[in-house]
Structure 1
């Protein structure tokens, strides 16, 4: 049974507040056997204090052994079965920047990349080209023209941009062109169904023209396509949980995820301190707050253990500002693990901390992977996190007679 079907009939109203703080890619691995992970190495006195007062566990984003993308990882945290609700990254990015997708549109998340003289990828993110350099290049790609297709190209952030295709006969089952590796050329857009052949052809033509337009660039002389997707339809937070929800995120993709489940996007924060100001300003207006912190993931993907540790410490600094507002429930977790030693998303369960005034505590002394394995929440599927949050906030009625 989908837990949302049950929660629709059980949720109740009160004045309690729930805060979900997501350190993207929070989980990690030690650099050597018997060592500490990034989270365990980091000095996190505020999270450690709440770990002693609350309860810990390890969440499984999708399914044991599966390394999730950020989309499925967050959907699980939001209580949506990530296997049932498949959302392409393109739709997330487009929605995140406020692009109004129409039925039949196909949205694509694109990355600028660096190609060597042989046409092989030497940097999948074009050296994380700054936005002020990448945005004009995305706008330049609006020169691409494909008969019968209305084409939208929108800058996003750093190496990312969005493409939206609008026209007759477009379907979204087309493979990504990012090989997820360097030293190899970009892949060719390939349709997986007969109905997606036209979309694949359009993507091939777009790339042909785009590479010609970018050929003289030093950093971003190529691009890859990811998450080719149509507009999805999901039930809202208000409908399923009875919560008026707000999202405080910096990156468009996470704003898009939140918007798709009916959250309001509040503020225009660029830093963690600014996110805390937005939280304080909107505290009386919402029941639920999703706060997203990206940099524990990006440093992990860069393979930089020390940098991820420092970013984890930065995340810890915002906790007192949240707690002084008086949430009934505070949760800190990640959408997936991104160990620096792997420099990629991984399948490892994600450390999770739940603090509430009436939660059943456990003997754990600090917030880290090893302690979470001993925690009272045990290992659980991420899609059940919202029912735990609602219960601890006194927002769930009794099931059955």
Structure 2
């Protein structure tokens, strides 16, 4: 393959940012992992940090990845649900309210209830699909409809809800509540009688003997009106594509006119199809200019709280994504970017607003000094991009890839 100059690769290891851990001898997971390819890019490139989460906004993958793609969440973000709906190519009325809806495992849907698992044991798509179909058949009506998604991630559409009080309800993201009380969220659901009825009836149906999965409730959250983003190519002059296992990234890509490269066997977990993602990126670069390759596994490992798994996630990211791409593109004029969207610290098991580390490497760049890629090494350079959506334009200017 012989791609032209100024091809840009954004390699995103979701949630890899972390804090030093005693069980890793005071290191973070990326510091404990073998990452020779990222370290070589760091030695020959520029390291810094970036604030991907705008002030006052929740530290989610929705806001963070929108920032990394060059769009200001404070201006364009309407909610998590609308982004994932965009991934399915769904069309809505302006006053529709679109909820992200997890299948979750709870002790009970009560004030003393506890969130046991935001993913229902990482329920598979074939296991989840009949449950969503059952809920639609039993509970779907002129106001509410259930739309199946991937694994534990689904949608609840509320017709006409965007202009009503339900649009202002705050329900915690379920991944923020692992082993925590759901009392505040039970109260939030109760503030909307119709939503409360749907959630409680769904829990009753999921408790039936025919459901052999760990899914025991639905969890609507991240609601908002339809998503509208500027066209990526018109904005940045680059023909772009996204590669990911999760609908969130696909939705951002589709909403901004980018190609969504589907790869068989991607899971969002440690066992995802790394080679398939690499192959898809290389094939697109034959005619395209920009690839946003996203790997979800580090984030899922952060939510699980298992440090060894997160170390392994970063080792695989380096060995199975960064390494093969570097080998295939050796000698080519490639702009390399590696980053996470947000931190998912092992001790917190959820997202935080820490500025994320990033590296930039391109032919002829002046190295910033660090010998490896990590949170501390990125911090040591003093380079800070204060607004996340400014990172991509800055990179394009620095590398000469701006069209």
| Equivalent residues of 1:26, 1:351 under 8 A apart | no
Residue 52 of structure 2 contacts residue 388 of structure 2 at CA under 8 Å; is this kept in 1? yes
CA RMSD of aligned residues (A): 2.6
Q: Does 1:95 align with 2:86?
A: yes
- Provide the residue aligned with 2:234 in structure 1: 239
Question: Structure 1, residues 335-384: CA drift from partner, whole Å, max 9, x if none?
Answer: 10111122111122211110111322111100111111123634543222
Matched, 1:26 2:20: no
Q: Secondary structure at the match of 2:325?
A: helix
Provide the aligned length of Structure 1 versus Structure 2. Answer: 376
Can you list the C-alpha shifts for 1:220-257, whole angstroms capped at 9, x where unaligned?
A: 12121111111022212122111111111111111112
Whether the aligned pair in 1 keeps the contact of 2:7 and 2:401 (CA below 8 Å) is no
SS of 1:140's equivalent? Answer: helix
> In 2 relative to 1, CA 391–168 (structure 1 residues): closer, same or farther, beyond 3 Å?
closer
Moved more, 110-119 or 157-166: 110-119
Higher mean Cα deviation, 59-68 or 263-272? 59-68
Separation in 1, partners of 2:163, 2:364: 51
Residue of structure 1 equivalent to 2:263: 268
Whole-Å separation in 2 of the counterparts to 1:367 and 1:43: 11
CA distance in 1, matches of 2:75, 2:162: 25
Residues 1:392 and 2:398 are matched in the alignment:
yes
| Contact 2:162/2:225, CA 8 A, preserved across alignment | no
Measure, in 2, the Cα distance between the counterparts of 1:290 and 1:136.
32
Confirm or deny: 8 A CA contact 2:79 2:224 kept in the other structure.
yes
CA contact (8 A) 1:47 1:366 kept: yes
Deviation at 1:66, TM superposition (A): 6.8
Describe the SS at the equivalent of 2:251. helix
1:134-171 deviation line (CA, Å, top 9, x unaligned): 2211111112446542x432222222211222348754
1:131 aligns with 2:125: yes
Q: Is 1:208 aligned to residue 210 of structure 2?
A: no
Could you tell me which residue of structure 1 aligns to residue 101 of structure 2? Answer: 110
**Which residue matches 1:322?**
325
Q: Secondary structure at the match of 2:198?
A: helix
User: Does the CA contact (< 8 Å) of 1:95 and 1:101 recur in 2?
Assistant: no
Task: List runs of 5+ in structure 1 lacking aligned partners.
Answer: 1-13, 192-196
1:355 partnered with 2:352? no
- SS at 1:136 equivalent: helix
Question: Post-superposition shift, 1:100?
Answer: 3.0
1:339 matched to 2:341: no
**How far off is 1:209 after superposition?**
2.5
Other structure's SS at 1:175 match: coil
**Residues 329, 392 of structure 1: 8 Å contact kept:** no
After alignment, is 175-184 or 95-104 more displaced?
Answer: 175-184
Q: Deviations over 1:284-304 (max 9, x none)?
A: 221111000000101011111
Partner of 2:269: none
Give yes or no for contact 1:55–1:376 (8 Å, CA) kept in 2.
Answer: no
Correspondence 1:29-40 to 2 at 5 A: 29-32=19-22, 35-40=26-31
**Paired position in structure 1 for 2:158:** 165
Match of 1:285 in 2: 287
Correspondence 1:62 to 2:58: no
Conserved? CA contact 1:24–1:296, under 8 Å = yes
How far apart, in 1, do the equivalents of 2:150 and 2:117 lie?
Answer: 17
Cα displacement (A) at 1:113: 1.6
Which runs of 5 or more structure 2 residues have no equivalent in the other structure? 267-272
* Alpha carbons of structure 1 residues 203 and 67: separation in structure 2 relative to 1, 3 Å: closer
Per mean C-alpha deviation after superposition, the further-off stretch among 73-82 and 294-303 is 73-82
- 2:270 maps to none
Q: What's the TM-score once normalised by structure 1's chain length?
A: 0.86
**Distance in 1 (alpha carbons) for counterparts of 2:42 and 2:262:** 29
Flag the 1:178–1:50 CA change in 2: closer, same or farther, 3 A.
closer
The corresponding residue for 2:44 is 53
Q: What is the rounded CA distance, in whole Å, between the counterparts of 1:207 and 1:364 in structure 2?
A: 51
Q: Does the aligned pair in 2 maintain the 1:148–1:167 contact within 8 Å? A: no
Cross-structure match for 1:184: 181
Cα separation, 2, equivalents of 1:393 and 1:34: 37
3-state DSSP class of the match of 1:127? Answer: coil
Alpha-carbon contact 1:144-1:209 (below 8 Å) kept:
no
Q: Render the CA deviation track for 1:379-399: whole Å, top value 9, x for unaligned.
A: 5432221112211342448xx
1:77 corresponds to which residue?
Answer: 68
Whole-angstrom distance in 1 between the partners of 2:333 and 2:254: 22
